Structure 1
């Protein structure tokens, strides 16, 4: 294997001649890059020859960034939940490919991604969504490194824009009672009560079966979720392994579930057209409840409340989960317990999400300990002697 410098037009190239034995008896040449100066080509040639010899040379890829992202999306479709994949698909086709897709992989620079995050996405997306786009891009470029398309992930050094955390609404104790009282006669009251008393996700509530509900031990085991796939909604595994968890139930929730189970048994026995799906929350004919149907009932209840209480918070269904966690933390429940009930993969997620509640918790804890770290309370001595006046 030998190398020499050749000029073509205004550029200089490194030309490598392979020995016939190295290439199965056939003569072969490879041309590398175009250098503006001959001395730049001469300087780069030893490194290229060395990498060719030991097999570590990564040749410039002809792929565009858009082609990489399409391949990445296809691969991801078989390794993540369909709902998660659709959010990836939206970010890739709505934002990433339209702005960066035509660039060659080898031409990408850190500044391309810096400008994309700070000047393009920040105008239209929340910081959380920009972080998600960055995670997608990082994973795709890391694969490109593994596949030998590029030698380095140029997005790894980019600093993401900072912004305010998403502010969610939670109900206080009085507002929560208003909501539950208004929902009491609704067909799906049980779903709303479970959301506020267990902190379960909507998909988990709609996917919970009676076989995973133990009224003797007063627990629900979260194992399945009613989630979206390519053919519609279906029962599937939970969001992640960390989402599989037991949740202890309040006494009121146990009584409600016991009553519902007894009523359900009578309906099944007396209605031959009832198609029991075995789920705790189901329609009047026994089939699973779709999220859209549940949301119609949810917003009907909220509209009913606002007619009498116009200042009632405009919450989402997911805010019932936030309400559950916030009220537990305010009541002094340890964040680790809250993490386990919510199914967060790490206590850091819980602490970060509900950090606005924690300062009040610190004050309450310190009051409980005492006047010092030793836990003692000092009595202030009040003197009964008449003070001496100095002239």
Structure 2
């Protein structure tokens, strides 16, 4: 593939024709390469990506995947994914042709992550999911025949450890923030509704309907590159109405009465995520409670509902899970076994 030198600038450039996805013949020119082989590599990569050939490297396929994600995903979600892929996936797979990656490659990569003992189960699950998503993208849009990550299976069969507090432990903790606003109100809402922290931080007073005893969750807050963002919630099912007990409504009303110059369309809790994490850590250390994250208050709410006998479908709806499998995969082990009760009832029917 011919490339050309710009003698005046002492750089290289490439100029060539290609067919776009509609079959139209177009010309592409790219300048400013320091080396001849860099210009040649750019042309080769560009043509492979335009043709959709899975002979392209995994790194080149990843560029296409991330370009698609950047348009369709929230900037915060995209940034987390891009960082994890660049740091933990591309160093291993980047130069291998997509269609040459084998199950053995994936297994070797998984083992390297496991042997490092640096990462939580939740992180390992996420980064393995990113790898699988890249291969799925290649299958759906570029004709890759199989997903070696899916064939390899999960990076760990063991269920990620779930941390939560009992009601008694939560009540103990709340004594450490009693009278400390807005932390007191925020912790109550997190524990008694199961909403995500970003959902809480995006709430306005207008989201509460005290006549119908509900709070509307239809947005989430993120702090991204020193900017406050109010974005759509995590999934479509995250748009929901959560019913509120009377004591929680009273607490929200009491808190809003303490605010000066507040308008109902403004954020009710204009604080950072770090503030709550700091308060939580301080309470844990003061009382010797089990260590949990702020997000684990959501798990604590689900655990409480299970203990009270509510069904997975109701919990799915209240937490805003996209599907029932998420709820069951996360919390099924918390449900008491009913096998003995089932056998007893079958015996009773048989002997009637």
1:164 positional shift: 2.0
The correspondence for 1:372, drawn from 339, 345, 348, is 345
Map of 1:118-133 to 2, 5 A cutoff? 119-124=111-116, 125-133=119-127
Question: Which one has a larger percent helix, Structure 1 or Structure 2?
Answer: 2
SS in 2 for 1:338: helix
Corresponding position: 1:291 with 2:273: yes
Write out per-residue CA displacement over residues 75-112 of structure 1, whole angstroms, 9 at most, x where no aligned residue.
21121122221221122111111111122334333321
Structure 1 residues 177, 126: CA separation in 2 closer, same or farther (over 3 Å shift)?
closer
Please tell me whether the aligned partners of residues 128 and 155 of structure 2 are also in contact (alpha carbons under 8 angstroms): no
CA distance in 2, matches of 1:277, 1:301: 32
1:269-313, CA deviations, whole angstroms, 9 ceiling, x for partnerless residues?
xxxxx68762232xxxxxx2111223223323333x32xxx3x11
The total of aligned residue pairs comes to 297
> Shift of the alpha carbon at 1:350?
1.5
- The Cα of 1:139 is off from its aligned counterpart by 3.1
Deviation at 1:163, TM superposition (A): 3.3
Q: CA RMSD, aligned part only?
A: 2.9
* 2:95 paired residue number: 102
Specify the structure having the higher radius of gyration (Cα): 1
User: Aligned partners of 1:343, 1:95: CA distance in 2, in Å?
Assistant: 30
Question: 1:149-180: per-residue Cα shift (whole Å, max 9, x none)?
Answer: 75554444323343322222222232121112
TM-score, normalised relative to structure 2: 0.75
Q: 1:147 to 1:213 in 2, by over 3 A?
A: closer
Structure 1 position 316, deviation (Å): 1.1
- Aligned partner of 1:352 in structure 2 is 329
Matches within 5 A, 1:53-132: 63-117=56-110, 119-124=111-116, 125-132=119-126
Gaps of 5+ in 2: 1-50
The equivalences for 1:214-363 within 5 A come to 214-264=209-259, 267-268=260-261, 278-281=266-269, 288-303=270-285, 305-306=286-287, 310=288, 312-359=289-336, 362=338
SS of 1:355's equivalent? helix
CA distance in structure 2 between the aligned counterparts of 1:357 and 1:144, rounded to whole angstroms: 38
| Contact 1:60–1:106 (Cα < 8 Å) also in 2 | no
* SS of equivalent residue, structure 1 residue 359: coil
What corresponds to 1:182 in structure 2?
176
Q: In the superposition, relative to structure 1, how do residues 75 and 111 fare at CA in structure 2: closer, same or farther (>3 Å)?
A: same
Gaps of 5+ in 1: 1-57, 269-273, 282-287, 379-391
User: 2:29 corresponds to which residue?
Assistant: none
